[in-house]
Amino acid sequence: MSRLETLLQFHKEDPSDAFTLYAIAMEYEKTDIPQALIFYEILLSLHPDYTGTYFHAARLYASLNQREKAIAIYQKGLEITKRLGESKNFQELQGAYTNFLYEEN
């Protein structure tokens, strides 16, 4: 059984588990971008405080030239990490967002 198959089985057993959703999105990112986006969107909707999602989802949208979507996700992630007091995640996300904006120019 592949890692993805195992994760999908975990998801079937507990469809609301944030870590499982995140891990599935990360696995799909390797082989099936549309499916990865679906799982990132589920995470952003159901688990807005699962802050690791923002970096990966924004980066993926940026790689697909969906600039406005990437910006919105970066900005929302910065709001959430700041509100939660997650300074390390805030700094990492801010750095990624700054690099994204810099690379665009």
- List, for residues 28-82, the tens digit of each pLDDT value: 999 999 999 999 999 999 999 999 999 999 999 999 999 999 999 999 999 999 9
In this predicted structure, what is the pLDDT of residue 77?
Answer: 98
The average pLDDT across 4-14 equals 96
In this predicted structure, what is the pLDDT of residue 3?
Answer: 96
Kindly indicate the confidence band of residue 105, based on its pLDDT and cuts at 50, 70 and 90. Answer: low
pLDDT of 1 higher than 80? yes
Q: Which CATH superfamily is domain 49-105 in?
A: Tetratricopeptide repeat domain (1.25.40.10)
Are 59 and 42 contacting, i.e. CB atoms less than 8 angstroms apart?
no
Sorted by where each begins, the domain ranges of the chain are 1-47, 49-105
Are 70 and 58 contacting, i.e. CB atoms less than 8 angstroms apart?
yes
